[in-house]
Amino acid sequence: MTTTDISTERAEEDKRLIMAAYRNLLRTLEGKCDEKDKKNIRAAYELAVDAHKTQRRKSGEPYVLHPIEVARITVDEIGLGPTAVICALLHDVVEDTPVTLEDIRKQFGEKVALIVDGLTKLDSSFNADSPQAENFKKVLTTLTEDVRVVLIKMSDRLHNMRTLGAMPRHKQLKIAAETSYIYAPLAHRLGLYGFKTEFQDLCMKITEPDAYYSVSQKLKETKAARENYIEEFIAPLRTELDDIGVPYRILGRPKSIYSIWNKIKTKKVPFEEIYDLFAVRIIVDVPPKKEKSVCWLVYSTITDIYRPIPERLKDWVTTPKANGYESLHTTIIGPKGRYVEVQIRSERMDEISEKGFAAHWKYKGVNGQPDVFDTWLDSVRDILESGNENATEFINDFKTNLFSEEVFVYTPKGDMKMLPKGATALDFAFSIHTDVGYHATAIKVNNKLVPMGHQLNNGDQVSVTTNKSQKPSEGWLKWVVTGKARSKIRSAMKEERRRRGRDGEEQLRRKFKNMNVDFESAVNTLVKYFNYAHFADLFYAVAEEEINITTVLKKFKAEDGKLVPIPTEKKEEEKKTPVKGSRVLRRFNGTPKLLIGGESSEQYEYSFATCCSPVLGDDIFAYITATAGMKIHRANCANAEHLMANYGYRILKAEWVSGANTEFVANLVITGVDAGRGIIQRLTQEINDLDINIRSFSISGHEGYFEGKIALLVNNTDQLTLAVKSLQNLDNVSTVIREEV
């Protein structure tokens, strides 16, 4: 056979695959679109096929199969309509092909262009080396613009996770970490339970493959026994349920592999001893008006036959969860004395629990509850608008506020307020009004005076006494958990800082006038000299005498109305230090200065975590270990999620304040095509040309691929980024990734 024969054959095969996928997509759309929709979907499909025609996925299949499948997921598994399908088909077109956003706007209109633009921005931000926290913020910003952007992104991520097998290991790990950190909790919050569960299972398959396969194998082995048991459990219920006279379905569903594994780990019991491997779900088909009464009727029928465990009764029918979930849960003692979890719900509630947000919209207003998603989106907006510049703080706020469960409390007038679980009396004050928070002097819960930091419980009645002369202080931050309260207290502190800083500013004005230098340029010089983020920090430091301005100014002279540093002998020496090509292991010219928990790091013993090796300029936080003192981690460290989630109280904010000449170790993994000898030399040459020292270097290769690991000694993230970019530009290098773990 000639090469042409093979390629025509392959092209034919590709065409068949693509057509089959497209027909499959059209089938899921049946009855959901009119003639005009169909025409537009066809046009989007043709545009996507043409635009991606030369691209293939890592698995080797034609690239366009990906957008087609993403479109199918948005319809089939989320329940979105034709517009979302068009956007999903086009979601990678602008980023990866010559088609522009303008082309899309002309052909498909403003709405589609807007959503595709949102998806493109999200994508490019994820490919860049920006910190996870920043990415997270971007996801949420698009969420408030058009929810469909995030829903399509969820489908995109789900398909990528399902087909992750073809990716190299380090990419799998990175994508899995991002998924469990951002997408799984977000799916949960949007009520997409099916997505959340699958995300968690797929992540576990990558991060803990042995455990994953062991649990899934055991689930398979015990399937028959489980089904028999469920049958035994259901048998006596059938006649009773038939008597109620409404259509119903009973399902016995095993829990997810991830949740079973979690139980094995946290409860330290073997698989065989986990009693709730599955839940029984009873779904009734009744009109909305009768849902509640029929659900309770089913509950009473079941508990006539099996004894319930009262404290396991959860009524999310009367008060849905904040993510829209509605269901009646109970645990009963079933045959052979085993505990069985039973979930009772209507068809509508079931659809909401599977498809979340999208289904919720469809039924908007049906259950007579305030719209929980609208309320939630409002609070997302609140947090985004609070102008929190520090991404790590933002994530912390977000995690405590928007992913957690909630408590319901009441004002003295009986109005209900929803606050995140763990919210305090002072949080409540801020939730009423910023001024009530600022001036709160005494808070009563159920008519008893409580401390400001008192944690609220469901059903508490809370009243706040205010006094105009009361003012928030730094210490208040300890007493609140909500983002709103934290950001309001922080901005009050900032205002106070600014007010006090005015004294410092006045001092500087006088000094600079005497020296005959321009105020603004001199301020800039000093801000740079001290590595402050903002001139206000300089003013404050002067006012509070954190720095002695008279001593500092002795190091400068006035020249042409500008402040110029007087060169010292030491500085001259420093210039000579870097020796090209030297293999010095570590050059310490002083410990880098940090601000830990807002205070100078000098009073702390600390070291840099080796799991993520922070570099000056990285987003960081401090963690107090049980035995090894304080460790500084990167905010996007693989351990961060775990540490923040479980030991939030041991975490302190940390920031860089000085650019001392310290070198940091940064580990890079470089992969590429092994084009024979010379790759090692070219990599090291490139790094030497950048005047960066190498601490260690190893390289291995097989089947025409190489993977190199380089530990670099860099001064800051700028230098690191430069190194990554230059290495990436080398021929035959495909990826350069900073190692996460």
Active site residues: 95-96
The residue to which tokens 């025509």 are assigned: 8
Q: Which CB atom, from 123 or from 674, has the smaller least distance to Mn ion?
A: 123
Least gap, CB of 96 to Mn ion (angstroms): 9
**Which of 69, 77, 156, 201 is in the footprint of Mn ion by CB under 5 A?**
156
Q: Among the candidate windows 151-159, 267-275, 402-410, 609-617, which touches Mn ion by CB under 5 A?
A: 151-159
CA-to-CA separations, 498 to 388, 434, 553, 639, in angstroms, rounded: 17, 20, 23, 36
Tokens matching residue 726: 């230059």
Minimum distance of Mn ion from residue 391's CB (angstroms): 24
Which residue has tokens 């999200």?
Answer: 122
d(CA 116, CA 90): 7
Size of the site for Mn ion (CB under 5 A): 2
Tokens representing 661 are 């000449």
Task: Mark residues 542-581: x for contact with Mn ion by CB under 5 A, - for none.
Answer: ----------------------------------------
Which of 214, 218, 177 lies closest to 199, judged by CA?
177
The pair phi, psi for residue 85, each rounded to 5°, is -65, -45
Query: Taking the complex as a whole, how short is the minimal distance between the CB of residue 352 and Mn ion, in angstroms?
Result: 27
Q: Which is nearer to Mn ion, 167 or 711 (CB)?
A: 167
Closer residue to Mn ion in complex, CB, 152/710: 152
Give the range of 149-157, 285-293, 381-389, 636-644 binding Mn ion by CB under 5 A. 149-157
**Which of residues 163 and 411 has its CB atom nearest to Mn ion in the complex?**
163
Task: Identify which range of 89-97, 266-274, 330-338, 363-371 contacts Mn ion by CB under 5 A.
Answer: 89-97
Residue among 69, 77, 92, 341 that touches Mn ion (CB under 5 A): 92
Residue 739 interacting with Mn ion (CB under 5 A): no
Give the range of 47-55, 150-158, 175-183, 357-365 binding Mn ion by CB under 5 A: 150-158
Residue closer to Mn ion (CB basis): 156 or 393: 156
For the packed helices 372-385 and 483-515, what is the interaxial angle rounded to 10 degrees? 10
Taking the complex as a whole, the smallest distance from the CB of residue 88 to Mn ion amounts, in Å, to 9
Nearer to Mn ion, 156 or 739 (CB): 156
Helix, strand or coil, per DSSP, at residue 70 = helix
* Closest distance of CB 221 from Mn ion, Å: 37
DSSP structure string for 236-299: HHHHHHHHH-S-EEEEEEEPPHHHHHHHHHHH---GGG-S-SEEEEEEE---HHHHHHHHHHHH
Q: Which stretch binds Mn ion (CB under 5 A): 108-116, 155-163, 354-362, 611-619?
A: 155-163
* CB 91, min distance to Mn ion, A: 6
Stretch that binds Mn ion, among 84-92, 189-197, 507-515, 561-569 (CB under 5 A): 84-92
Instruction: Compute φ and ψ for 590, nearest 5 degrees.
Output: 125, 150
CA-angle at 663, arms to 658 and 667, nearest 5°:
120
* Rounded CA separation 86/534 (Å): 45
As a whole number of angstroms, the distance between CA 327 and CA 346 comes to 8
Residue 66 beta carbon to Mn ion: minimum distance, rounded to whole angstroms: 6
Q: Kindly write down the DSSP assignment for every residue of 476-509, as one continuous string.
A: GGGG--SHHHHHHHHHHHHHHHHHHHHHHHHHHH
CA 127 to the chain's CA centroid = 15
Distances (CA, A) of 91 to 61, 83, 111, 375, 737: 18, 12, 13, 29, 25
Please count the residues of the chain. 741
Q: CB of 355 within 8 A of CB of 303?
A: no
> Under 8 Å CB-to-CB from 643, ≥6 apart: which residues?
623, 633, 650, 651
Q: Which two tokens stand for residue 424?
A: 């305090």
For residue 154, the minimal CB distance to Mn ion (Å) is 11
Sketch the per residue contact string, 391 through 410, with Mn ion: x for CB under 5 A, - otherwise: --------------------
Residue 92 or residue 341: which is nearer to Mn ion going by CB? 92
Q: Of 88-96, 284-292, 559-567, 644-652, which part binds Mn ion (CB under 5 A)?
A: 88-96
Q: How far is the CB of 316 from Mn ion (least distance, A)?
A: 34
* Alpha carbon of residue 110 to chain centroid: 29
Q: What single-letter amino acid sits at 332?
A: I
Closer to Mn ion at the Cβ: 92 or 641? 92
Nearer to Mn ion, 92 or 460 (CB): 92
Q: Measured from the CB of residue 156, what is the shortest distance to Mn ion in angstroms?
A: 4
Closest distance between Mn ion and the C-beta of residue 562, in Å?
A: 52
Residue closest to Mn ion, measured at CB = 156
Rg (CA), the chain: 30
Least distance (Å) from Mn ion to the CB of residue 24?
Answer: 18
When the beta carbons of 163 and 465 are compared against Mn ion, the nearer one is: 163
CB 131 within 8 A of CB 395: no
The one segment of 1-9, 156-164, 364-372, 518-526 that binds Mn ion by CB under 5 A: 156-164
User: In terms of CB distance, is 55 or 300 closer to Mn ion?
Assistant: 55
| C-alpha to C-alpha distances, 382 to 375, 377, 420, 482, 519, nearest whole angstrom | 11, 9, 14, 11, 37
CA–CA separation, 377 vs 354, rounded Å?
A: 20
Stretch that binds Mn ion, among 92-100, 193-201, 623-631, 702-710 (CB under 5 A): 92-100
Q: Which is nearer to Mn ion, 68 or 344 (CB)?
A: 68
DSSP string, 550-605: HHHHTTEEEETTEEEEPP-HHHHHHHH---TT---S--BSSPPPEEETTEEGGGS-
Phi, psi of 230 (to 5 degrees): -60, -40
Residues within the interface to Mn ion (CB under 5 A): 92, 156
